[in-house]
């Protein structure tokens, strides 16, 4: 018997003027409407929705490091207009150099959402935890935010940017940030495994990538802003990230966490593109300087990492 599986889709929209808010809103609404028409957004009535944006540190969206709260506002507005929703929670966890509450304030998330009665901002690190038997590549079991794991519909809002250690960020790496542990730097030598585990813990139902102001070079926090004006959407983190990798001008087969996620069957690279064609929006992102890649290679080497002094020195250099 042949089982027909539904093919993934990835939508791409380009705005001409990355600072033009109405243009961004219109482009995102159009992408979401097309996803809805294609029956790719399956939200049950009275759903509790979790939105996980990438807010890796207290740097504004204009730097290319974090998601623009305006993009999430447009997403929230569209969801509220189109579905019967109980609550929308915007959740991010503390990280080595991130205090989520400060980020919500300083980066304008509080100002953006304080007028929404059924939208709340949540520090996933401070939420009630739930134990998950994961049997993953790195974690055998994991404590995660209950609101995050038990949400009816999980939306990952990643950022289109390079990453010194993983090559790219986008969605798979964004969900790595949902781990409520603050000291995430401890996982850096095992990033690919940990990324896959965090995705396995809760697969996203919708993936959006904010590439309006992307980041190239020494990402995820020290790179250069690139005003690309792109929004990328999909139901599958692997498909969406695969498309994003191609848009950035990189070879997806060389992004090790992406290829590992494919092997782990966390999604599929078989997808169709709607909206803009990848060939038309493809660019050539500046990648991490080669000397940094060598250092990163050493940093990620599991044997060298057992030497405490090396680790301390390299953590000082790459405080990401």
Partner 1 sequence: MDKISVGIVGLGAIAKNMHVPVLSTFENAELKAATEVDVKRGREFAKKWNIVEVYDDYNKMYENANLDAVFVCLPSFLHFDAVKSALEHDLHVFCEKPMGLKSDDAYELVKMAKKRNLVLAVGYNRRLEKNYEEAAEIAKSLRLGNILQAHGILVNPGPYAGWIPSSDWFFKDKYGVLYDSGPHLISIMMHILSDPITEVSARGISTMHGLNVFDNIAGVFNTENGVVGTFNVGWKMASNYDSIQVHGTGGSVFANPLEVEVRHGSYGSLERVADHIKLAKKIVGAQVGRMSGDKRPSETYFREDRGFVDAVLNGGEPLVSGEEGLRVLEVLEAIKGSVDGGKVVEVRRHL
Interface residues with partner 1 (CB under 8 A) are 18-19, 59-60, 62-64, 213, 217-218, 221-227, 291-292, 295, 316-317, 319
DSSP one-letter string for 232-244? EEES-HHHHHHHH
What are the respective helix, strand and coil percentages of the chain, to the nearest 5?
Answer: 40, 25, 35
- Least distance (Å) from partner 1 to the CB of residue 224? 4
Tokens read off for 290: 């080669």
Residue placing its CB nearer to partner 1 in the complex, 59 or 188? 59
Other C-beta atoms closer than 10 Å to the C-beta of 161 total 32
Residue placing its CB nearer to partner 1 in the complex, 209 or 218? 218
- Least distance (Å) from partner 1 to the CB of residue 184? 18
- Least distance (Å) from partner 1 to the CB of residue 60? 5
Residues 6+ apart with CB under 8 A from 135: 141
Residue placing its CB nearer to partner 1 in the complex, 249 or 289? 289
Backbone angles phi, psi at 213, to 5 degrees: -115, 100
Residue placing its CB nearer to partner 1 in the complex, 38 or 293? 293
Distance of CA 102 to the CA centre of its chain: 20
- Least distance (Å) from partner 1 to the CB of residue 92? 19
- Is 121 buried (19+), middle (13-18) or exposed (0-12) by CB count in 10 A? buried
Residue placing its CB nearer to partner 1 in the complex, 18 or 180? 18
- Least distance (Å) from partner 1 to the CB of residue 71? 16
């Amino acid at each position: 018997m042949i089982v027909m599986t539904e093919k993934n889709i990835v939508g791409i929209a380009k705005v001409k003027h990355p600072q033009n808010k109405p243009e961004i809103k219109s482009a995102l609404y159009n992408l979401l409407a097309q996803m809805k028409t294609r029956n790719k957004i399956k939200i049950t009535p009275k759903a509790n929705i979790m939105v996980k944006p990438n807010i890796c540190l207290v740097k504004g969206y204009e730097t290319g490091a974090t998601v623009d709260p305006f993009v999430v506002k447009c997403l929230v507005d569209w969801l509220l207009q189109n579905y019967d929703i109980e609550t929308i929670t915007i959740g991010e966890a503390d990280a080595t150099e991130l205090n989520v509450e400060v980020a919500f304030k300083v980066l304008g998330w509080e100002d953006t959402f304080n007028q929404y009665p059924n939208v709340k901002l949540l520090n996933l690190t401070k939420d009630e935890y739930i134990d998950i038997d994961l049997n993953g590549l790195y974690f055998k079991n994991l404590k995660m935010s209950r609101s995050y794991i038990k949400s009816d519909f999980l939306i990952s809002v990643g950022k289109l940017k390079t990453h010194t250690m993983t090559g790219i960020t986008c969605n798979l790496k964004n969900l790595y940030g949902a781990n409520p542990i603050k000291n995430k730097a401890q996982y850096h030598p095992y990033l690919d495994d940990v990324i896959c585990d965090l995705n396995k813990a809760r697969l996203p139902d919708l993936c959006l990538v904010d590439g309006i102001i992307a980041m190239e070079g020494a990402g995820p926090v020290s790179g250069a802003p690139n005003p690309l004006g792109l929004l990328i959407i999909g139901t599958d983190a692997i498909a969406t990230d695969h498309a994003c990798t191609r848009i950035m001008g990189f070879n997806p087969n060389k992004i090790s966490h992406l290829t590992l996620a494919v092997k782990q069957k966390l999604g599929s690279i078989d997808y169709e593109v709607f909206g803009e064609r990848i060939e038309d929006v493809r660019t050539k992102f500046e990648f991490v300087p080669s000397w940094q890649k060598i250092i990163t290679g050493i940093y990620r080497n599991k044997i060298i990492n057992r030497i405490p002094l090396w680790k301390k020195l390299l953590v000082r250099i790459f405080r990401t």
